Amino acid sequence: MDLNGQILESKSQLLQTANGHDQIQDLRTKAMQVFENEGFPTIKHEEWKYTSLVPILRKNYSLTASAGKVSKEEVEKYSLKTDSYRLVFVDGGFSEEHSDLENAPFTFLTLSNALGSKEEALNLFGKIAPIEDQAFVALNTAFAHQGSFLHIPKGTRVEKPIELLYFTSKAQNEAPFFQIRNLILAEQASETQIYERHQNLGESAALSNVVTEIKVERDAIYDHYKVQNDQRDTALVDNTWVEQAENSFASVDTFSLGGRFVRNNLSFLQRGEHCESKMYGITMIGENQLVDHHTLVDHKVPNCQSNQLYKGIYTDNAKGVFNGKVYVHSEAQKTNAFQQNDNVLLDDLASLDTKPQLEIFADDVKCSHGCTIGQLDEDAMFYLKSRGIRDKEARAMLLYAFCMDALAGVKLEELKSKLKSVLAKKLGVELDFDL
């Protein structure tokens, strides 16, 4: 039986586990109805035509995984070394032991607590991420009871990054299915940096369906970094929906460097004038891995900006997808939307589908898009080699340089250097790129 069948079979049990306020229950029931009607998308669905879910869905998942344990060392290995607020979840459950919220100037509640009574959470749940035509969001909305609610109050500058670390423990030995929901409210003129990671510490073929709804109020600055460098059997479907109010800045940068299957559905809804959205990413994968980025910027009001820059390096049977949709409504005059997707295929086995999709209904806008697929520049390779730089190092330098502009704007210095060393390692060189 595939995942769809398994879910339908245990739906009453799942609905029962997923608690919440009455208004949440109504939404959950409705979401379940939508999921039952639509099911998981197939490659006939326009948004899924390059990525088949069949290999992911046909596993026998454990829908109610019990929580295992992780060690302090494991947590340390995957967290930032700089001072941070840390929220650790193990197999979906919140781990007080590994988390650190000392003197936090914001509110954190586990999702199930928040959905019990917290008004701000109830006002956020299902308000930004739609369930229609979004099977994974519908499924998550129906059953998700694990995750975080973060509330950054008005005018608060959170000085340290907030880490959201979701671990799958070694205790999971088959294929656990996790549904995580994050609700983040960045109030007026607040400033926040989030570092998010989903990491499987064991060998299981875990599948995580994560939905994050982020509301960025006026004048707020919000940065969110996703590092996806999971073990080779793990699958992740990430649905991140950001709604922005007037004069706000929001960025979600996605660094996809590992895992078996990663689908990122990243959507920005611009709802106030003079706001700016940034989505940058680096994808570097090989060995039968798949990373699919589907982005959407919905420009609904005038005088806003969006910037997308995705770089991809693929080798060895890896498959990449980039589909960037920019929708400019007729009233969204003076929109400035930029989108660029550049890729390098390192061998004949790797493949990539890239598709810019601009739908523009306003007439006074600046919208540009571009995508490139290429190999390494032979002239540049010869130039480097003629200076005594060996083949592997020369390749690494060029690929590294190729990616670098997508690191621009990353405000966490540690993350930057961490990414640099991961990239160097993946390129198989010991070069100090930092001079």
Partner 1 sequence: MLTIKNLRASIEDKEILKGINLEVKPGEVHAIMGPNGSGKSTLSSVIAGREDYEVTAGEMNFLGQDLSELDPEERAHAGIFLSFQYPVEIPGVSVTNFLKTAINESRKAKGLEPMPAKDMLKAMKEKMALLEIDRSFLSRSINEGFSGGEKKRNEIFQMAMLEPKLAILDETDSGLDIDALRIVANGVNKLKSQDNAVVVITHYQRLLDHITPDFVHVLLNGQIVKSGDKNLALELEEKGYDWIKKEQAPIG
398 binds partner 1 (CB under 8 A): yes
| SS3 at position 365 | coil
Q: How far is residue 213's CA from residue 130's CA, in Å, rounded to a whole number?
A: 10
Which of 83, 377, 409, 411 is the binder for partner 1 (CB under 8 A)?
Answer: 377
- Of 103, 106, 87, which Cα lies nearest the Cα of 95? 87
Helix (H) / strand (E) element for 144: namely: none
3-state helix, strand, coil in the chain (%, to 5): 25, 40, 35
Helix (H) / strand (E) element for 142: namely: helix 135-143
Residue in the structure block whose two tokens are 């979004």: 134
385 binds partner 1 (CB under 8 A): yes
Cβ proximity to partner 1: between 67 and 381 the closer is 381
Classify residue 115 by burial, with Cβ atoms within 10 Å: 0-12, 13-18, 19+. Answer: buried
Neighbours of 77 (CB within 10 A): 11
DSSP class per residue in 154-195: TT-B--SPEEEEEEEPTT--S-BEEEEEEEEEE-TT-EEEEE
Contacts of 332 (CB under 8 A, 6+ apart): 270, 299, 300, 301, 302, 304, 362, 365
Cβ proximity to partner 1: between 362 and 404 the closer is 404
Cβ proximity to partner 1: between 215 and 395 the closer is 395
Site for partner 1 in 303-332 (CB under 8 A): none
Which of 383, 409, 411, 425 is the binder for partner 1 (CB under 8 A)?
Answer: 383
433 binds partner 1 (CB under 8 A): yes
Only one of the segments 79-87, 202-210, 343-351, 397-405 lies at the binding site for partner 1 (rule: CB under 8 A); that segment is 397-405
Site string for partner 1, 93-122 (x = CB under 8 A): ------------------------------
Residue 9 token pair? 């079979």
Which of 402, 415, 420, 423 is the binder for partner 1 (CB under 8 A)?
Answer: 402
What is the 8-class DSSP label of residue 263? E
DSSP class per residue in 294-348: EEEEEE-SSS-EEEEEEEEEE-TT-EEEEEEEEEE-TT-TT-EEEEEEEEEE-ST
Which of 362, 371, 384, 422 is the binder for partner 1 (CB under 8 A)?
Answer: 384
Which of 189, 346, 376, 380 is the binder for partner 1 (CB under 8 A)?
Answer: 380
191 binds partner 1 (CB under 8 A): no
**Nearest distance in Å: CB 278, partner 1:** 19
**Nearest distance in Å: CB 381, partner 1:** 9
Which of 58, 390, 411, 425 is the binder for partner 1 (CB under 8 A)?
Answer: 390
Site string for partner 1, 279-298 (x = CB under 8 A): --------------------
255 binds partner 1 (CB under 8 A): no
400 binds partner 1 (CB under 8 A): yes
Only one of the segments 20-28, 110-118, 150-158, 390-398 lies at the binding site for partner 1 (rule: CB under 8 A); that segment is 390-398
382 binds partner 1 (CB under 8 A): yes
Cβ proximity to partner 1: between 22 and 379 the closer is 379
397 binds partner 1 (CB under 8 A): yes
Cβ proximity to partner 1: between 203 and 393 the closer is 393
Q: How far is residue 306's CA from residue 57's CA, in Å, rounded to a whole number?
A: 34
373 binds partner 1 (CB under 8 A): no
Q: How far is residue 80's CA from residue 75's CA, in Å, rounded to a whole number?
A: 10
| SS3 at position 140 | helix
Size of the site for partner 1 (CB under 8 A): 26
Which of 12, 363, 388, 413 is the binder for partner 1 (CB under 8 A)?
Answer: 388
401 binds partner 1 (CB under 8 A): yes
Residue 59 token pair? 């596993």
**Nearest distance in Å: CB 69, partner 1:** 43
Q: How far is residue 87's CA from residue 94's CA, in Å, rounded to a whole number?
A: 8
Instruction: Please report, as ranges, the residues that interact with partner 1 according to CB under 8 A.
Output: 377-380, 382-391, 393-394, 397-398, 400-402, 404-405, 431, 433, 435
